[in-house]
Amino acid sequence: MRFFVQGDGTATAVVGVANCHDAALDAVSEHKPNVAVIDIRMPVSEGLRTVRDLHTAFPDLGIVVCSFNLDEATALDARVEGAHACLAKPASREALQAALEAACSPSQEAGGGASPAAVGAPGVDSGATRS
């Protein structure tokens, strides 16, 4: 996933990687990305809880859920909890980039120079900054 984001010819950079709920919240707080990519199945804690808590703590944060374990019900749950886009793995580079762009809220784009950036969970350890 990291290769997809950084190797696509756009101005992208991974800004943080987290392997659990608390680390994801800390990484977003520290790096202030525009987009977080979250796997529903995190090694230490539940991904939907992470989505909900990220959305609550950082309401302007775009959230993309990407997981091998993504079915319609889980995608709907993720959207209810605050995800802007959901992708089933494996996802194409184009699908990931489209999801990252879709997750950038208008308030972030209106910031003049604010770029999408992401913090991911294991298996989705990617993020992007796009100029």
- 92: domain range? 2-120
Give the separation between CA 48 and CA 128, rounded to whole angstroms. Answer: 21
Q: What is the mean pLDDT of residues 56-84?
A: 91
Least confident of 35-44, 55-64, 102-111: 102-111
Give the separation between CA 18 and CA 9, rounded to whole angstroms. Answer: 25
Q: What is the mean pLDDT of residues 49-54?
A: 94
- Asked whether residue 72 is assigned to any structural domain, the reply reads yes
Q: Is the pLDDT of residue 113 over 90?
A: no
- Asked whether residue 127 is assigned to any structural domain, the reply reads no
Give the separation between CA 48 and CA 23, rounded to whole angstroms. Answer: 15
Tell me the CATH number at 70. 3.40.50.2300
Q: What is the pLDDT of residue 98?
A: 85
Q: What is the pLDDT of residue 97?
A: 83
- Asked whether residue 126 is assigned to any structural domain, the reply reads no
Q: What is the pLDDT of residue 117?
A: 43
Q: What is the pLDDT of residue 112?
A: 32
